[in-house]
Amino acid sequence: MTETLNVGLVGYGLAGEVFHAPLIHANPHLRLTHIVQRTGDSAKQKYPDVHLLRSVEELVAESSVDLIVVATPNTSHFPIVERALQSGKHVVVDKPFTITTAEADQLIALARTSQRTLSVFQNRRWDGDFLTVREILHRGILGRLVEYESRFDRFRPHLKGAWREQAIPGAGLLYDLGPHLIDQALLLFGTPTGVYADLRLQRDGAVAADNVEVHLLYPSVKVVLKASSLVCEPSPRFTLRGTEGSFTKYGLDPQEEALKSGMLPTQPGWGAEPEELWGVHSRCDGELIRKKYPTLAGRYQDFYENVFQSIIGQQDLKVMPEQARDAIRVIELAEQSAVEKKVVPC
């Protein structure tokens, strides 16, 4: 097997330009050879050696391309991934995997039939704060966990007319930030017994959910996931409570801002968080004891390295399409719950 895979990227908006292109470019096993950018030439200016294309059909016809990365609006994921798999390419698609589980199941079956690798860019499995939460739970320092709350908040009071704000399938915070929150929870706790959700339109003129609260029901732990566009003063990103203490973490992983500023994972100190942003481990031993808990360095680069190693048969794929499909199923159940205003069995 070749030591380098040629990669074609579909889409050069926020996801393609800020996340996928830099991470692909930084991986020595991947060569970014083609970018589909519908209008403009900013991709060519940033990566002068790539072939700039205007259509997906041009890309899938390129026999030299081994892996296609799809970073386009949510409703286009299914047809583009389907076409890429039919052309014999391996595929990475940005989250959410698809709009429905029926679409996800079709793509999973097609990937199996074509014997191609299919994965979903659930990059926030490699956020430093989430890696830290996994370590804390693995070490059992909180005792038996009884409550887990994960929030992803923003303050964007004014609508900008973006497609994510429109009344179309796959729009709103449930499909934007929900896949991250849900994927992390499913990775930690597995399949819930039921789902309860409250979805609201809070901003003036909003037609897609901009406030999301999802409860995943488990026998022994309370799991609450929240996202909002109207949180001015930050809330904790993670709150964990157990029989022997708690853990509270504010702030977002620094990797997104680092990528926006032009940094790459190859630079020293990548993903590291300053001590003043570390979370706090609290416990009561006669008195309240609060201690900073070091945040592990985030590692978005591990996603694409794993995809490469999986394609050449050296590692198991970490983000399986079946896992991403399960997250979409939870989103569907959350929408149903919000309409029916009751717990929906999972």
Please tell me the predicted confidence (pLDDT) of residue 2.
59
User: Is 313 within a domain?
Assistant: no
Banded pLDDT at 334 (limits 50, 70, 90): very high
Indicate the pLDDT class of residue 286, thresholds 50, 70 and 90: confident
Give the Cβ contact number of residue 177 at 10 Å. Answer: 22
Is residue 316 assigned to a domain? no
Residues 95-137 have pLDDT tens digits of 999 999 999 999 999 999 999 999 999 999 999 999 999 999 9
Whether 35 and 50 have beta carbons less than 8 Å apart is answered as: yes
Q: State the average pLDDT over residues 179-190.
A: 98
Pairing of strands 67-70, 90-94: parallel
The rounded mean pLDDT for the chain is 97
- In the chain, how many domains are there? 2
CATH number at 68 reads 3.40.50.720
pLDDT value at 171 more than 80: yes
What range defines the domain where residue 184 resides? 124-299+330-345
134 and 274 in a common domain: yes
Q: Choose one of 69, 89, 121: the last residue of a domain.
A: 121
Say which CATH number the domain at 341 has. Answer: 3.30.360.10
Same domain for 139 and 240, yes or no, is yes
Answer whether 70's CB lies under 8 Å from 98's CB.
no
CB atoms near residue 65 (< 10 Å): 23
Residue 1 has pLDDT above 60, yes or no: no
Render pLDDT for 197-249 as a digit per residue (tens, 0 to 9).
Answer: 999 999 999 999 999 999 999 999 999 999 999 999 999 999 999 999 999 99
pLDDT band at 298 (very low <50, low <70, confident <90, very high): very high
